[in-house]
Amino acid sequence: MTTFIGFSTIGRNKKFTLVDFELIKQDLLNAFNIRQGQLPGRPEYGTRLWDFVFENLNQATEQGILEEVQRVAGGDPRIYLQSVNVYPQDNGLLLELTIQVIPTNNAEILSIFFDQIQRNATYI
């Protein structure tokens, strides 16, 4: 039974409908690709993670990243964030998120790469 229904035109030619976990993944990626304050009428939507991508990864920066990921994921009532791992990568930052879709008990690991050069976040 489908619980969540939405659509996306990104990377699709004909079938734009997304359901359940695919929709949640796309919505989460959208939130990570929008800088906080850039969506008209919703200044709290988006993320400040892009400010951390250009910083040296030390304990304070990593703590700021973890808090920001928790804030963004906490804005979506369909998911529960179980864990976050942060890895510096060439030209960016890699986040591994373990999320659980509510009300199920199924957990999924998502790897999101924040690319400094392209200035976008993508799933890998």
Read off the CATH number of the domain in which 89 is found: 3.10.450.40
**Cβ atoms of 50 and 119 closer than 8 Å:** yes
Bridge partners of residue 105, in order along the sequence: none
Residues 17-53 have pLDDT tens digits of 665 778 888 889 989 999 998 888 988 888 999 888 8
Which residue in 83, 107, 105 sits closest to 95, CA to CA?
A: 83
**Cβ atoms of 99 and 79 closer than 8 Å:** yes
Number of domains in the chain: 1
pTM confidence score: 0.82
Q: Where in the sequence is the domain holding 68, given as residue range(s)?
A: 5-123
Backbone angles phi, psi at 64, to 5 degrees: -65, -40
Helix axes 59-74, 20-33, angle to 10 degrees: 130
